A and B are shown apart, each in its own frame.
Chain A
Amino acid sequence: MTHYKILLFIAFFCPLLTFGQGKVLTILHTNDTHSQIEPWSDKKMKNVGGYARRDSVIRAAKENETPLLVVDAGDFSQGTPYFNFFGGYAEIEMMNLMGYEVATLGNHEFDNGVDALSRRLQTAQFHIVCANYEFKHKKLSKQVKPYVVLKKDDLKIGVYGLLVDLRGLVDQKTIDSTTYKDPIAVSKEIVPFLRNKKKCDLIICLSHLGFEDNPKWVSDSTLALAVGDIDIVVGGHTHRLLEDKVVNGVQIVQLEYGGMRIGKIDIRRKRK
Chain B
Amino acid sequence: MKNNIVQVIFLPIVFLILLIFPIMVSAQKDKPFEIERATILLDSTYDSKIESPITQKIAYYRELLSAEMDVVIAQCSETLASYEPASPLSNLLTDLLFDYGDRYMREQGVEKTGVSLLNFGGIRNVMPQGNVTVSDIYKIAPFENRVVIITIKGSELKKVFNRFTEKRNQPYSQLEMIYFNNKPDKITINGKSINDNDEYHLVTVDFIQNGGDAILKDVEFVKVAETNELLRDVLVEEIKKITTAGKIITPVKDNRVIIRPQF
Q: Footprint of B on A, CB under 8 Å?
A: 1, 4, 7-8, 11-12, 14-15, 18-19, 24, 37-39, 47-57, 59, 78, 81-82, 84-86, 90, 93-94, 97-98, 111, 171-172, 201-202, 228, 231-232, 241, 243, 246, 249, 251, 253, 255, 259-270
B37 A253 Cβ-Cβ under 8 A: yes
In the complex, the answer to whether B22 meets A15 with C-beta atoms within 8 Å is: yes
Q: Which of B35, B42, B48, B55 has the most CB of A within 10 A?
A: B42
Given A94-B57, A263-B37, A265-B35: A11 and B47 within 8 A (CB)?
Answer: no
Q: Flag if B41 contacts A269 (CB, 8 Å).
A: no
Q: A4-B11, A8-B14 are in contact. Are A270 and B42 (CB under 8 A)?
A: no
Number of residues from B at the complex interface, CB < 8 A: 47
Which secondary structure characterizes the binding site on chain A?
mixed
- B42 in contact with A54 (CB, 8 Å): yes
Q: Which residue of A lies closest to B28 (CB)?
A: A249
Render B39-54 as a binary contact track against A, CB cut-off 8 A, 1 for contact: 1111110111000111
Per the 8 Å Cβ criterion, residues 215-259 of B in contact with A are: 226, 228, 230, 233
* A49, B42: Cβ atoms closer than 8 Å: yes
Query: Of A38, A57, A171, A201, which one neighbours B46 at CB under 8 angstroms?
Result: A57
**Residue from A7, A53, A251 in contact with B47 in the complex, judged by beta carbons closer than 8 Å:** A53
CA–CA, A249 and B18, complex, Å: 24
Q: Which residues of A contact B14 (CB under 8 A)?
A: 8, 11
Check B38 against A82 for contact (C-beta < 8 Å).
Answer: no
Q: Which residue of A lies closest to B224 (CB)?
A: A172
Cα distance A50–B226 in the bound complex, in angstroms: 33
- Across the interface, do A12 and B18 meet the contact criterion of CB distance under 8 Å? yes
Of the residues B18, B39, B43, contact of A15 by C-beta under 8 Å: B18
Contact between chains at B57 and A264 (CB < 8 Å): no
Is the C-beta of B192 less than 8 angstroms from some C-beta in chain A?
A: no
In the complex, which of the residues B22, B42, B43, B57 contacts A93, with contact meaning CB atoms closer than 8 Å? B57
Q: Which of B58-66, B105-113, B149-157, B159-167 is the interface stretch?
A: B58-66
A25 to chain B, nearest CB (A): 9
In the complex, the chain A residue whose C-beta lies closest to that of B210 is A168
Contact B228 A171 (CB under 8 A): yes
Q: Which of A11, A54, A82, A267 has the most B CB atoms < 10 Å from its CB?
A: A11
Q: Report whether B61 and A264 are in contact in the complex, using a CB–CB cutoff of 8 Å.
A: no
Which residue on A lies nearest to B50, using beta carbons?
A56
> Is B19 on the interface with A (CB-CB < 8 A)?
yes
- How far is B54's CA from A54's CA once the two chains are assembled, in angstroms? 10
Which of B42, B62, B65 makes the CB contact (< 8 A) with A261? B42
